[in-house]
Amino acid sequence: MKNKFFANNRLRLAVTVPALALSLMFSSCDKEVTDLQPYDRLTEATAFETPERAELAMAGVYDAAQSGFYLGGAVRGYPFGAASIEQGDMRGEDMLNVATFYAITYGATYNASSANNQYMWETLYGLINKANVVIEGVQAAATRGVITAEKAKTFEAESRFLRALAHHELLVHFARPYKHTADASHAGVPYRTVAVNTPARIEEVKVHGRNTVKESYDKLIEDLTFAEANLPETRAGSLKISRATKGAAIALKTRVLLHKGDYAGVITEGNKIISTAAPFTSPIGSYKLESQPDVPFASYANNKESVFSIENSSTDNAGVNGGLPAMYGVSPARGLVAISPIIYNASFWKANDLRRTLLTTNNGRAFYLTKYRDAATNSDYAPLMRYSEVLLNVAEAIARTTTGADARAVDLLNAVRNRSVTTVADQFTAASFATSNDLIQAILNERRIEFLGEGRRWSDIHRLAKDPVFSTGGVPAKVAYTNTKFVTWAAASGTVDAATLKIAAVPYDDYRFVWPLPITEVNANPVLAAQQNPGY
């Protein structure tokens, strides 16, 4: 029987002990380690007895981010190997569910027993708990002199980065946005900062319910600030993208602060990694936009634009039932997620935009993305943060805190847009915008195009839900694939056939705007059972 360190991963993750499965072959390790003790005999004590084992423990946290379980053992990219992108897209209106595979998420027919919601919750808390186990383990290892204090802080910083990433994903699915109440005192999610790995710890967390959204965001910023202070600026090879860095922590802070509505904070953080003038090469990490929009997807390990991605490989991926290439691509891929006519036909997406010619295709029935290309082995990395997002985060924050069309905000927008919109007559100048709201709308439109198929649409719908000007009012109505024909897709036409909009909108005040806490959790935790989202 395996000990608790490698226990069955299907445990109630906000309450009981998830596994810290440490893969000796995990691909993000930068060297092979020979260890004569079988990996399934390691305990939490022995896992931190040597520097090599501590490194493997850290790799195990990344593994939890990439390949959490689904339905008791299958790997479908939960939570961040593919699932966060697919679920984020299916909650929005710009990507189209082709078959029944994502119908529950796409049509908002979920309940507390829905598998996708349940396993997103459980694998996110599994990742969080593994991060907390490592934090405690490396701190103790440093005290014993097994690793240096500096190395322990680096491991802790990586773990706190991933812990923040996971908690924020929970917040955008299971809680109302920051601006739902004036002081963000409404229910967030349980923010776990200690390892739940003993009976006493289990009982301890049972009496603590959901933190408020404000408390959750305060803890997010605290974790990311620690990560920023203790992570390296860069790493060797593909690890500069697949392992946390200082730039990744700062970039994630700009996202979190944008959700909070702290626009001054977004600008302050963004200015750390955005140069004062074009081409806006980052002084930290040397991030920069690639010359064409397809480069970050054609060369994951070597491009300059990816800030943080989850690594997949031919031997370790989400498979045909979860992999990004399998879901988003045309034959031989499954082709279950197409581009919706809602965004494809949008007039603000110019017909000659290079993102149409370089990043889309069709099968004679619908249009699809080509961002994810390796349908044979599903080795495409899951892009969680690109430099273009940081530029647009800061552009929006500047536009929201200035009057008129601020020159720097326009320049940041154009840096992202003009590599794809190459016709000069179609490019923006300050004169293109009569008001700052016009500029903000252009930035929001650009986000929908630039991050199409990267799971960011739901995140924007969520954070803008209470915005007095730019809210969608909830989840917009969606196109039903069965009501479409190939001619339904008409680039930049500005119209969508009303007969195709058969998936009804979900108003913001509707209980379905947020996911329910899963039945497995509320059955195990009476405090959280009493804090279930209303309506479920």
Domain ranges of the chain: 4-69+77-322+380-529
Question: pLDDT tens-digit profile of 355-364?
Answer: 999 999 999 9
Residues 479, 240: Cα–Cα separation, whole Å = 39
How big is the CA angle at 340 (ends 260 and 363), to the nearest 5 degrees? 140
Closest CA to 338 of 364, 363, 369: 369
Half-sphere exposure at residue 15, Cβ-oriented, CA atoms within 13 angstroms: 20
Q: Which residue has the higher pLDDT, 5 or 320?
A: 320
How big is the CA angle at 172 (ends 349 and 125), to the nearest 5 degrees? 135
Question: pLDDT tens-digit profile of 464-512?
Answer: 999 999 999 999 999 999 999 999 999 999 999 999 999 999 999 999 9
pLDDT at position 407 over 90: yes
Rg, Å, the chain Cα set = 22
Residue 522 token pair: 């509320």
Strand residues in 203-324 grouped as ranges (E): 306-310
pTM over the 0.75 mark: yes
Longest dimension (CA), the chain: 70
Residues 321, 313: Cα–Cα separation, whole Å = 15
Residues 81, 245: Cα–Cα separation, whole Å = 18
Would you say 5 and 42 are in contact if contact means Cβ atoms under 8 Å apart? yes
Contacts of 166 (CB under 8 A, 6+ apart): 65, 79, 124, 125, 127, 128, 131
Residues 424, 376: Cα–Cα separation, whole Å = 39
Residues 488, 467: Cα–Cα separation, whole Å = 31
Residue 16 token pair: 């009981």
Q: If you classify domain 4-69+77-322+380-529 with CATH, what class do you get?
A: mainly alpha
pLDDT the model gives residue 42:
61
| Mean pLDDT computed over 113-134 | 96
Question: pLDDT tens-digit profile of 26-77?
Answer: 333 333 333 334 444 567 778 899 999 999 999 999 999 999 877 777 889 9
| Mean pLDDT computed over 440-450 | 98
Residues 422, 361: Cα–Cα separation, whole Å = 20
